[in-house]
Amino acid sequence: MPLSEATTFDPAAYIAPHDAAADAAALAALAQWCERFSPLVGLDQHASFAPGIQPSSGVPDYLLLDVTGLASHFGGEPALARQVAEALEQRGYCVRVALAGTLSAAWALAHYATQSAQRLVPADADPPGGGSTYLVVSATDSWTVLQSLPIRALRLPADTIALLEQLGLLQIGQLAALPRGSLASRFGDLLLQRWDQLRGQAAEVLVAHRAPPVFQADRFLEHPTDRHPVLVSLLAQMLVQVVRHVAARGAGVLALECHLRCAMSARRQQARPDPSSVTAEAETVTLRINLFQPTVSVEHLTQLVQLQLEQLVLPGLVEQLVLEAVHTAPLVRRQRELFPDRGRSAPLQLAQLVDRLSSRLGSAAVVRPQLEADRQPERAFRYVSLTARRRTRSRAPQPAFQGLHGACLARPLHLRSPPLALPVIAVVPDGPPVRFHFQRRTHHIARYWGPERIETGWWRGRSVRRDYYRVETDQGHWFWIFRQLDDNQWFLHGLFG
Amino acid sequence: MNSPIPILNPPTALLVDSLRARLARWEAGRPERDPARISSGCPALDRLLPWGGLPRGVLIECLEEEEEAGAGGAGMVALLLARQAALEGGAIVVLDPQHVFYPPAAVLLGIDLDALLVVRVSQVRDQLWALDQCLRCPAVAAVWAPLAQLSARDFRRLQLAAESGSGLGILVRGSAARRQPSWSALQLSIHPCVCGREEVRTGRRLRVELARCRQVWSGGTVELEIDEVTGVMQAVSGPHEAYSVPPAAELAYSASGRRSARA
């Protein structure tokens, strides 16, 4: 009923807005709980046609349990259905349970066969919400029950239902009398599909709901401490727990988060003007460790945690530790080698090295260069962090200096960024450089290679137009200098190492 | 000297025999060739080195002629040596404290970027720690690190790290390092070669001097040219050895012996 009507009936009624996300979360929790009845519990939605429920898109609104072959463990199908209904009712839910030969049939019966369903509690007891019901229809006589159900029980779109009802097709059984071919052409393929699914002639897949597992360990310290060795050994113990769970799923830890809840130290509390406000105050310090490769090595992870902890200044005594594996990924199984080589190409050891380095130095400090398709020298590459999570791996670009193959010395080993303005003397205005001044002395150019003209970057607003010269001084030193064509200004861009 | 004499109570005759064999080896002028050596990529340079190539698990210093230039060729020779060390697999780690390293140059010199790791740290303490970690990792074939200052204690620490990881630690340093104590197995001094304007050549010509080396008398030089097309070091002349047959007595009391005793 509309809200205005409800308030007329009872002005004191408690009104709460509908929270679809909370509904979905509750149903997901219920799905997990229902795994005691069946190993395959699915969440599904067909909100628009359940009576009494407002249509809402994208939110699952019923549970599917695959109980094939399981009834004997619960003392038969009626007993199983009853147990499910009772257990859910005990949790405070009013449920309609139907058990049938096909998934579609069970859905139709649960939603529309309210008359033939059995009540858990006698109707005269008048339980709130009408009471939970359960219904078991064996495969042999399901058809007789289903025939009399309304056409809405077929889980069809609203416009198809409306069309069918306009044509006077009100019950499922009426469809049986119609020629199959004309049904598809008039009402769409979905009708036939639902029809076949209802009769068990077409398969229907139950997608099991699996909540993403949480790998977490938690430790409360009776004696708060800030001594690092103690914290490290406690974290190591917790890591063992977390890693064991992760490893049991054939996965490895890829990112780890470690929260240290610190009580404010007494000194800090005194510093506060109002001591009463800090009595319950605690500060949480979070360490985050990203790994290059998934691992289950507790030793390695402990080392990484320790490296970060060493650099941390704790605001107070730690009273609670929470450790969580935030990202996990399937572990790459490595076969042990019978004759291990020198370990030179061991990716595992390299991954551990990368983890250690980036744990202490930060992931921006441990990088791998990638070439970019850009002619401008300072943009010809970029660094990618090895431990920061990247979803997409960029395709290998065509390096812009493909034409330089066979010119191994065409680029300097050190690049000045930004380029250093140089006083250069060139005899001819557009000619090669003769000498330049750098690092408190004048370099006379003995030989030069070039110019290599680079004109690019116009799409970035300021186009780059440069003539690059690779020069050898009379001392035998090699530099990479360029003349900016716009203003004839010279710059030093690189040193050849 | 570098490997301890086995003293697990062998019969005296055996001990004497092993000592005799060792002495014979010294007197042969060249120490035993290490099978696990890496070719420097230039046969003439290999001949100059007592191991017939570069040994694994050591530090090598490449000295610039000048203190601050960074254009004299030491960095490039060091990178070429690192490339050689990584030929059999393994990663190259480049320590880049000043954020100036230019990876495209490494690509042109034939280094695979997938096997290249750049560590960009500015604090000296972190640099040394990172260097130590990389040298200890057996998956790292070579570490290329420009280091101006290095205390004796840190130097020794890095040497031990290189020994345990059996990679090659190549340090690019200024000429001032020549006057300082060194724990590296090899100190190469790189001098750019000057040539006349009229001489036609395309590559980069450098003179590599064996400034200090364990086990042999130093002072030999070889003149190299880094080929413009192939990026390979080729000998132009040399090796010129300072002492072609070093006297055994001097060898037995070489600079390196004193150094390792001090360490």
pLDDT of residue A273 exceeding 60, the answer is: no
Residue A447 one-letter amino acid: R
C-alpha dihedral, A184 to A185 to A186 to A191, nearest 10°: 20
pLDDT of residue B6 exceeding 90, the answer is: no
pLDDT of residue A49 exceeding 80, the answer is: no
> What residues in B contact A352, CB-CB < 8 Å?
137
The mean-pLDDT minimum among A183-197, A231-245, B13-27, B145-159 falls in B13-27
pLDDT of residue B229 exceeding 60, the answer is: yes
> What is the pLDDT at residue B59?
92
Mean of the pLDDT values across residues B225-242?
78
User: Under 8 Å CB-to-CB from A111, ≥6 apart: which residues?
Assistant: A49, A50, A51, A96, A153
The mean-pLDDT minimum among A278-282, A487-491, B220-224 falls in A278-282
Assign domain A231-268+284-334+344-360 to its CATH superfamily.
DNA polymerase, Y-family, little finger domain (3.30.1490.100)
A229-A233-A237 Cα angle (round to 5): 170
A253-276 as b/e: b if 16+ CB within 10 A? bbbbbbbbbbbbbeeeeeeeeeee
Share of chain B above pLDDT 70, in %: 78
Higher pLDDT residue, B186 or A48? B186
A345 — pLDDT class (breaks 50, 70, 90): low
With a threshold of 0.85, tell me whether the complex ipTM lies above it. Answer: no
pLDDT of residue B169 exceeding 90, the answer is: yes
Mean of the pLDDT values across residues B228-244?
73
Share of chain A above pLDDT 90, in %: 5
CB A61 within 8 A of CB A46: yes
Q: Which among A336, A244, A261, A341 has a CA at the least distance from the CA of A297?
A: A244
Q: Which range has the top average pLDDT, A338-342, B128-132, B207-211, B253-257? A: B128-132
Domain ranges of chain A: 21-199, 231-268+284-334+344-360, 412-495
> What is the pLDDT at residue B213?
81
> Phi then psi for A253, rounded to 5 degrees?
-80, 130
> What is the pLDDT at residue A391?
45
Share of chain B above pLDDT 90, in %: 22
A395 — pLDDT class (breaks 50, 70, 90): low
- And the tokens for B105? 């140059």
Contacts with A, B 44-73, CB within 8 Å: 68-73
Record: contact B231-A353, CB cut-off 8 A: no
Q: Which among B86, B259, B84, B99 has a CA at the least distance from the CA of B187?
A: B259
Higher pLDDT residue, B244 or A133? A133
The mean-pLDDT minimum among A79-93, A132-146, A227-241, B80-94 falls in A132-146
B258 — pLDDT class (breaks 50, 70, 90): very low
Pair type for strands A366-371 and B116-119: antiparallel
Whether the link from the prior residue into B239 is cis, omega within 30° of 0, is: yes
> What is the pLDDT at residue B95?
94
Size of interface A-B (CB pairs under 8 A): 180
Share of chain A above pLDDT 70, in %: 85
B29 — pLDDT class (breaks 50, 70, 90): low
B119 touches chain A (CB under 8 A): yes
> What is the pLDDT at residue B246?
45
pLDDT of residue B68 exceeding 70, the answer is: no
Count CA atoms closer than 13 A to A82's CA, side-chain side: 10
Residue A361 one-letter amino acid: L
pLDDT of residue A406 exceeding 90, the answer is: no
CATH topology of domain B36-193+200-262: Rossmann fold (3.40.50)
Mean of the pLDDT values across residues A260-271?
67
Locate the DSSP E strands across B106-180: 116-119, 140-146, 168-173
pLDDT of residue A87 exceeding 60, the answer is: yes
B123 touches chain A (CB under 8 A): no
What pTM was estimated for this model as a whole? 0.65
Contacts with A, B 7-26, CB within 8 Å: none
B129 touches chain A (CB under 8 A): yes
Mean pLDDT for all residues in chain B? 79
The DSSP H or E segment spanning A259 is strand A251-264
Mean of the pLDDT values across residues B180-192?
88
A236 — pLDDT class (breaks 50, 70, 90): very high
Chain B's closest residue to A345, CA to CA, is B90
Whether the link from the prior residue into A418 is cis, omega within 30° of 0, is: yes
> What is the pLDDT at residue A400?
60
List pLDDT tens digits, range B124-159.
889 999 999 999 998 899 999 998 888 989 999 999
**Residue B81 Cα, gap to closest chain A Cα (Å):** 13
> Phi then psi for B262, rounded to 5 degrees?
-65, -40
> What is the pLDDT at residue A192?
87
B172 — pLDDT class (breaks 50, 70, 90): very high
**C-alpha–C-alpha distance, residues A368 and B103, integer Å:** 9
**Residue A103 Cα, gap to closest chain B Cα (Å):** 52
Mean pLDDT for all residues in chain A? 81
User: DSSP assignment, residue A190?
Assistant: H
> What is the pLDDT at residue A40?
86
> What is the pLDDT at residue B241?
66
> What is the pLDDT at residue A338?
54
List pLDDT tens digits, range A179-191.
888 888 888 888 8
List pLDDT tens digits, range A478-495.
899 999 888 888 999 999
- And the tokens for B142? 């070579």
B190 touches chain A (CB under 8 A): no
> What is the pLDDT at residue A130?
63
**C-alpha–C-alpha distance, residues A170 and A173, integer Å:** 9
The mean-pLDDT minimum among A18-22, A242-246, A330-334, B214-218 falls in B214-218
- And the tokens for A339? 């004759």
Best B34, B56, B83, B102 member to test A by mutation, with max A CBs in 10 Å, is B102
> What is the pLDDT at residue B135?
93
> What is the pLDDT at residue B55?
87
pLDDT of residue A56 exceeding 90, the answer is: no
Contacts with B, A 401-420, CB within 8 Å: 401, 404, 406-417
The mean-pLDDT minimum among A67-71, A194-198, A334-338, B231-235 falls in A334-338
> What is the pLDDT at residue B161?
92
> What is the pLDDT at residue B93?
94
Record: contact A414-B100, CB cut-off 8 A: yes
C-alpha distances out from residue A475 to A306, A441, A443, B203, Å: 50, 12, 8, 16
Q: Which range has the top average pLDDT, A69-83, A207-221, A332-346? A: A69-83
Chain B's closest residue to A348, CA to CA, is B139
A336 — pLDDT class (breaks 50, 70, 90): low
